[in-house]
Amino acid sequence: MTDSEVRQVVVDIIEIIAPDADLSNIKDDVRLRDQLELDSMDFLDIVMELRKRYKIEVPKEEYQELASLDSCVAYLGPKFQAIGAGAE
């Protein structure tokens, strides 16, 4: 899975859990919680969707790795490679 595909997976999940969020101008290097006003439950929903859809586990101590789109891509890219970029 390419970086742009991983980015799109994250954006798609955010669109599901925060349907009112404006994702058109999302910045890759700014914390998602700051740009989209995500609360801790929204963030947990992102982690749960990753687990449900792609069987990717994100340990609590690594949640900070999902702070921005850039860090999501860097963190999740190798995980998608390890699972073979599985289908939903």
Give tens-digit pLDDT for 36-56.
988 889 999 999 999 999 999
- In the CATH hierarchy, which fold is given to the domain comprising 3-83? 1.10.1200
% pLDDT > 70, the chain: 95
Three-state DSSP class for residue 9: helix
pLDDT of the residue at 58: 96
| Contact in structure between 43 and 33 (CB atoms under 8 Å) | yes
What's the confidence (pLDDT) of residue 85? 58
How many CB atoms lie under 10 A from the CB of residue 27? 12
Domain boundaries, the chain: 3-83
- 80/86 Cα distance (integer angstroms): 7
Are 26 and 35 in contact by the 8 Å Cβ rule? The answer is yes
pTM of the model: 0.88
